[in-house]
Structure formats: structure tokens, C-alpha cells
Amino acid sequence: MSNIKKAFENGKAFIPFITCGDPDLYTTAKIVREMAANGADLIELGIPFSDPTAEGPVIQNANLRALSGGVTTDKIFDFVRDLRKDVKIPMVFMTYANVVFSYGAEKFISTLKEIQMDGLILPDLPFEEKEEFLPLCEKYDIDLISLIAPTSENRIAMIAKEAKGFIYIVSSLGVTGTRSEIKTDLSSIVKIVRENTDTPCAIGFGISNPEQAAKMAGLSDGAIVGSAIVKIVAKEGKNAAPKVGEFVKSMKDAIM
């Protein structure tokens, strides 16, 4: 069984996102441990990229802060090796295809296996082009996570049938960022997903408070939150870990 599915075994999953190296990897490590201690079921770790096309300004700025601080993919791999000494919940990387290509796809994905990562999310990888990475992910037992967006329409069933780990349902058109209201008809998307697979699905993009998280988790198997957490880090800097822990606990409590 995919290790990722363990995140969905105890009711609704809360999935927080953090940009690695914002403001530094030492702080990121403290934040990840706080997330795990406060109820996170699966953690998304963002590998910074200079042109993160799916991200809004909050996470774009986090990428720039991390890169200007000297973060590299190799440093992030070493950071995960250390995390895995005590953080046992599933973790996935979210980054961009160019990061994987420039590192060397096989070297990158085999290292994910070695450092005990469970999955990989590439928001700029079209479903039709996933064969560039899927065979390597299967070879090294890494789940290549599929995204389904409101624009997927007649492709939803096809994507769902082939999905691994969990399905990331994008709540809204556009880039990541907190939203006051999510208006997409997500229940019809989830219905098609459920008719075609038993792989769990979680909703992300735009969720910023416990009420939204509870609503999205009510429609699906979990809620994904990124920008709201990255905002806390931007504000609190090296002192962010306890505040992020409190936020994660409030979100997890809301969806249970």
C-alpha cells in the first residue's frame, strides 16, 4: 500500500504546505516538526523554483526568499534525511518539472526513495506528458500525484483512474492564494473522482481558515493549505514554528 494512503486512514486528512528554506532550513525543520506534532497527516514540502507558475505572490515571495538565502535541492535532500530520523508521517515534494530535469530525473527520483519521501507533485506537468516521469516514479516507488482542476472537465475520469497516492483537486482557477470564497462546483468533480477510483482526494488552493477547511474536507477526503501558512512564516520569520503549530491544530480540529 502507498504510504500516502496512511494519511487518510484516520478520518479526514489535513495537508499543510511549506516552502523549504523560508526563511532558512533550520526554521523549516522546526515548522515541519510542529506540523507533525499538531495533527498534520501529510506534509507538502515545496522545493523553491525561480518561476513558480502555479503560485500566487505569497508563495512566489517565499520561493525568492529561500533561493536568495542559498537553498539548493541538495541541501533540501540533506534536510529531509535529518527530518526522517523522527518525522514519520507521509511527506511529498511539490516543485516544477524544470527542477527535476535540471537535477537529472533519475537521480532526483531515486534520491526521493533514498531519503524516504513518498510522493511528488509537479503542477506544471500536463497529464498527457506524465510519461516523462511516471516510469521512474514507479521504478523507485514514488507516487506521482495527479492534479484535477475545474478546467479538467471530460478528463477527470481518465486522470482519476490512473491516479497514485492521492488526488489533488484544485478548488479554483488561477494561482495559489487565500480566497474569501470558493465558488467552484467541487461536489460534481469529487463525484466523478469517486466513481472512477478509490484513491483519496483532497482539495487545495484558496483555503485559509477552519471554516473553509471543514467545508472542503466535508466534500472530499481532506484539505490542503499553503498560502495561509506561508503568510505566517513571512510575518513571524524565524519565530514562526509555534504559530504554525497552533494554526495546523485549529485546522485539523475543524475537519475531524
d(CA 133, CA 79): 24
Whether CATH 3.20.20.70 fits 11-249: yes
| Position 242 pLDDT exceeds 80 | yes
pLDDT at residue 182, as a whole number: 52
The domain spans of the chain are: 11-249
End-to-end CA distance of the chain: 23
Q: Report whether 161 contacts 197 (CB < 8 A).
A: yes
Query: For residue range 135-162, what is the model confidence (pLDDT) as tens digits?
Result: 999 999 999 999 998 888 789 999 999 9
pLDDT at residue 52, as a whole number: 64
Average pLDDT over residues 155-177: 83
Share of the chain above pLDDT 70, in %: 93
DSSP state of 27: H
More confident residue, 103 or 172: 103
Which set of grid coordinates corresponds to residue 44?
A: 507538502
Query: For residue range 1-54, what is the model confidence (pLDDT) as tens digits?
Result: 579 989 999 899 999 999 999 999 999 999 999 999 999 999 999 999 887 666
Which set of grid coordinates corresponds to residue 48?
A: 523553491
Whether the full predicted model's pTM is greater than 0.75, yes or no, is yes
Confidence label for 179 from pLDDT (cuts 50, 70 and 90): very low
More confident residue, 119 or 129: 119
Average pLDDT over residues 217-224: 96
Which set of grid coordinates corresponds to residue 81?
A: 534525511
